[in-house]
Structure 1
Amino acid sequence: MPQLNPNPWFFTLLMTWLAFSLIIQPKLLSFTATNLPLNKTLTTTKTSPWTWPWT
């Protein structure tokens, strides 16, 4: 079964991992987010108890 021979696949895995970690990942991390979250103050809503007509 040729799928169990790790010789060609291990090298492919290693080269793909190195390409991602050394070339692609720094390029992706250099992008800035377009919609940055803002520091908004939390507004609390005043709740009133429900008045039940049968009590």
Structure 2
Amino acid sequence: MPQLNPNPWFFIMLMSWVTFSLIIQPKLLALTPTNSPSNKTSMTTKTTPWIWPWT
């Protein structure tokens, strides 16, 4: 069963993770988010309770 032979697939997986960890990840982490979170206080709205017709 060739699916159980890890020889070529383990190397491919290892090289893809090395590529991701050393090349792609630092480039992604260097990007700044466009919508940075702000320290605005959230406004609470007063809600009126639902008036049920049968109570």
Q: Distance in 2 between matches of 1:18 and 1:46?
A: 53
Aligned to 2:51: none
Amino acid across the alignment from 1:22: L
TM-score when normalising by structure 1? 0.74
Higher-Rg structure is 1
Deviations 1:12-50 (A, max 9, x none): 0100000000000000000000011110124455678xx
**Aligned residue pairs, count:** 53
TM-score when normalising by structure 2? 0.74
Q: List gaps (5 residues or longer) in structure 1.
A: 49-55
Q: List gaps (5 residues or longer) in structure 2.
A: 49-55
Aligned to 2:17: 17
RMSD (Å) for aligned C-alpha atoms: 2.4
